[in-house]
Each structure stands twice: as C-alpha cells, then as structure tokens.
Amino acid sequence: MDKFVMIIFGASGDLTKRKLMPALYTLYNAGRLPDDFFIVGIGRTDYTDSRYREYILNELHKNASVGQPERKPEDFCSHLHYLSLDPAEAGSYGLLDACLRKLTGEEKPENLLYYLATPPSLYGIIPLHLKAARLNRPHTRIIVEKPFGYDLESAQELNHIYASVFEESQIYRIDHFLGKETAQNILAFRFANGIFEPLWNRNYIDYVEITAVENLGIEQRGGFYDGTGALRDMVQNHLIQLVALTAMEPPAIFNADNFRNEVVKVYDSLAPLTREDLNEHIVRGQYTASAVKPGYREEKNVAPDSRTETYIAMKIGINNWRWKDVPFYIRTGKQMPTKVTEIVVHFRETPHQMFRCEGGHCPRANKLILRLQPNEGIVLKFGMKVPGPGFDVQQVMMDFSYDKLGILSVGDAYARLIEDCILGDSTLFTRSDAVEASWRFFDPVLRYWKENQNAPLYGYPAGTWGPLESETMMREHGAEWTNPCKNLTNTDEYCEL
C-alpha cells in the first residue's frame, strides 16, 4: 500500500476520539496501514502536535482495546499531527496545503483521504474550500458522516456541491451499520445458501421487523438532536439500509456498482406513503421522565415545548413481485429497556396444524433473528417435539454468535469501512442516487409533521418499549414486536409480549 495522508476535520470532537482513532489504531496494530502514513487532525481547539498526541493516547486507553498490542499506541500516536484552524474560513486552507507538502515532501500530494467528522453545517462548506485551494486532486477521497442532508432538497444541494468538487467514485458516504459483520452476513446468509433464498419472498414470509434502539438518552447532544430527531438520525439512513439488505435482489456480479444498484432498486420500490399511512402507520414518540431518568424536554439544550421525536415506528411496503403485501415494520428509539439492533423475519404459519397444544406449548410460526448488536449472530426458531408421551411441540432455537467461535474477532465497523475507503472499495458506502431515493420516500413524513403541528407525538416513560400505539399498529396485521430482555447477554434471551 502506498503512503497516504488522512486529514480529519473535527479532530478534537467526540466522534474522532471515540470511534475514528480507535479504528485507525486497530488497523495499525494489525499491520494494515503502511509504515509511511500521516494523520493530520484539524480543529479549532488550540493543540500542538505533542499535546494532541498526548490527548489521543489518553483517549485510546479509554476507548480502544489496547491490551497487549503488537504495536504500541505510543508508536501509533507518533504518526499524528495537528493543525489548528477554522475549516469554515477559506483562507485557512493554504496552511493545510503547506502542512501536507511539508509532511510528504511532495509538491502536490495526491493520496489524500479527508474525513468530515464535523457538524453537518460544514458538509457543504469544506469541499468548496478544498476545491478553491486545489486540494481536490484526482486520487483524493472524502468520507462524509450522516446525516447527508436534512430533507430531499438539502440532500440534492449537497450532492450538487460534491459533484462539482469530486467524482462520485471519490465520495464515501459512511453508514457504520454496514461495517458490522452481521449486516454483511445477511448477504452471505441469503445468497450463499440454497436453502434460504427460495423461501425469501411473500409466499413464505408473513412480515419483517427491524429494530435499532438504545438504552441511553441524547447524552449532552440536545442542541444537535433537537434539530434532528429520530427519523433523520436513524431511519433515513441506518434502518432503510437494513431494509435494503433484507429485501434486495441478488446482484448478478458482486461488486460495488451492482450491489448499490440493487439497493437503489429497493428504495425505488418503496410504496409511496398515503394519507392513511401518515396518520395511522407512523407512530412517533418522545420519552418522558421515569422514576430514575429525566424526560427528553428536561435534557440540556432541549426546548421545553420540543416536539422532536426520540422514537419512531413505521409500517413500510415494497411494491415488487418478491415483497408485495409483506409489511416491513421498523422502529428506533432512545431510552429503551436495552440496546439492540436486529432484523426479525417472521415466516408464515403452517397451513394445517395437526399437533395439539399440550402442556401450554402451542407450535408457532418460524422466526429468524439476525442480530447486529450486541453479540452479533443469527437465531432460528422452530418447533420440536417435547420428549415423552404424546406430541407436545415446543419452539426451540438454533443459534450462532460470532463470540462463540473464539478464534475470530467480529472486528470494528469503522476500521472495516476506513480500510475499504483506503483500498478504494466503495461497496458498503452510500451512492448519491440512493441518498436522494431514500429522502424522496421520507420527505413527505417531514412535510406532514411540519404542516400538521397537532399530529400525534406520544409520550413514553424512559426505560420502556415506546408508545403503546406502536403495538396497535402491529396488531392490524396480527403481528407483534419482538422485545429482547433487559441486560441482554445471549441471543436466546427474549421477553414475550
């Protein structure tokens, strides 16, 4: 691998210290970075190189798995440099250019990787300043964090800006969910096994639910979150990506273009939301105070009359031959009983049930659970006869989790995606047409909420599974949410409703 320079805008921020630096150290420790590399942090905080290295070293011991490393974190930090400047000021980029030339010894260094770990307000500014300083060279790449736009119009405007500065092949819109092994394993599970894909359609699947919830609040991010909300923060990017992985057709050839083509096809097939859907098939909520936790409106920098959703559940349809009339239920929320991200595929019940419900164990429909976190793995629930007289059938579980393999590490999602970007593999990054197709579907929801200030916003006590109205929405189809238990440690711990 040729030497390269990674430039992190927002280098003194939370994302850099908690995710990016530990991921880069993971790559360094595994010998997956070249010996000749530089990481240049850019931020407004006034650090020198030595003080920044000391700061990151301290954070690595907090946030990275240092243990007994092959390579010391101190050696990694020796590759770090810091440039104190305001990325919103066009005149500052001459300092960046001079810094890069000095580090590389090249007049026009080209193997550059920019990472925007900044507030979204800078996403459209930094690329234009890079272009004005002629730092958008042919072999440069740029990684952009979510949210990529706040609605369809702003996303289109951002895409226009980036297209004026970089080629699409240079732009890497990151979604760390796709860096998780189980997210990628959905594809292998479906397309590498002949026994599952023939069943993966409306003839055998009753409904699909996708959950991504946290047992934390907004964690001092009130100023950001109150202008964002759960739909922009999680649904338009993370959850709809998981819908695409679950619903997509098999690519003819597995490469970046063909894979991302199939993702866009799913987005284009999403059933347009009707007035009935906006009224009845979208449930938004906001956590309220419980005995031990404050309510959302009591959080720092949150308006006391805020109508920002911290929970949203939706029923989504896909208009194609494979999925017609199969509902996809998606939900995300803050201050839930546990932290979990998983896809649950509910198969149809057998057309004729010949076994009696002896002992209170009635045979139920098969259920496949694909868990992204915690304890990444897969669970299949199916009926088996209980030993003894009669034919009492009880549901049992066949489960696989990566941690039980012992010799294999699940790995870090950010490390995987950053390495992909370094290698020029854009498969797991979002393309511009996918961004716009996703926003085209969700934009009517934002408009509806804006135009109907009295649209329901249900309260739910912190530490519960959200508004009861989301359960009612599910019952229309005879469905129910799959709620993992608190303090989830194993793939077989589930709480029945």
Q: Is 487 a domain residue?
A: no
Q: Is 286 a domain residue?
A: yes
**Single-letter code of the amino acid located at 301:** N
Whether 100 and 206 share a structural domain: no
- Bigger pLDDT: 407 vs 474: 474
Backbone angles phi, psi at 337, to 5 degrees: -65, -25
Q: Which residues are annotated as a binding site for NADP(+)?
A: 10-17, 44, 146
Q: Which residues are annotated as a binding site?
A: 10-17, 44, 146, 176, 180, 214, 233, 334, 339
For residue 193 the two structure tokens come to: 């096994």
User: Is-catalytic flag, 79?
Assistant: no
Q: Is 490 a domain residue?
A: no
Domain with 401 in it: what CATH number?
A: 3.30.360.10
Domain count, the chain: 2
Q: 3-state class of 497 per DSSP?
A: coil
Sheet of strand 141-144, all strands in order from the earlier edge strand to the far edge: 80-84, 37-43, 4-9, 112-116, 141-144, 171-173
Whether 36 and 104 share a structural domain: yes
Whether 310 and 376 share a structural domain: yes
Quick: pLDDT tens for 229-240.
Answer: 999 999 999 999
The pTM of the full predicted model, rounded to 2 decimals, is 0.90
> Residue 33 pLDDT more than 80?
yes
Q: Is 121 a domain residue?
A: yes
Domain with 72 in it: what CATH number?
A: 3.40.50.720
- Spot the catalytic one: 79, 81, 129, 238: 238
The CA distances from residue 207 to 31, 196, 372, in Å, are 44, 16, 19
Q: Which stretches does DSSP call E strand in 335-489?
A: 340-347, 367-373, 377-385, 393-401, 458-461, 483-484
Sorting pLDDT into bands at 50, 70 and 90, what band is 360?
Answer: low
Asked if 201 and 250 count as a contact pair (C-beta separation under 8 A), the reply is no
Sorting pLDDT into bands at 50, 70 and 90, what band is 495?
Answer: very low
Q: Output the pLDDT for position 491.
A: 42
Q: Looking at 124, 145, 166, which one is the last position of a domain?
A: 145
Q: Is 397 a domain residue?
A: yes
Q: Output the pLDDT for position 445.
A: 97
The continuous run of DSSP H or E covering 143 comes out as strand 141-144
Q: Is 288 a domain residue?
A: yes
Asked if 168 and 159 count as a contact pair (C-beta separation under 8 A), the reply is no
Q: Which residues are annotated as a binding site for substrate?
A: 176, 180, 214, 233, 334, 339
> Residue 447 pLDDT more than 70?
yes
Quick: pLDDT tens for 143-184.
Answer: 999 889 999 999 999 999 999 999 999 999 998 888 887 788
Sorting pLDDT into bands at 50, 70 and 90, what band is 459?
Answer: very high
Determine the structural domain holding residue 192 and report its residue range. 178-410+431-477
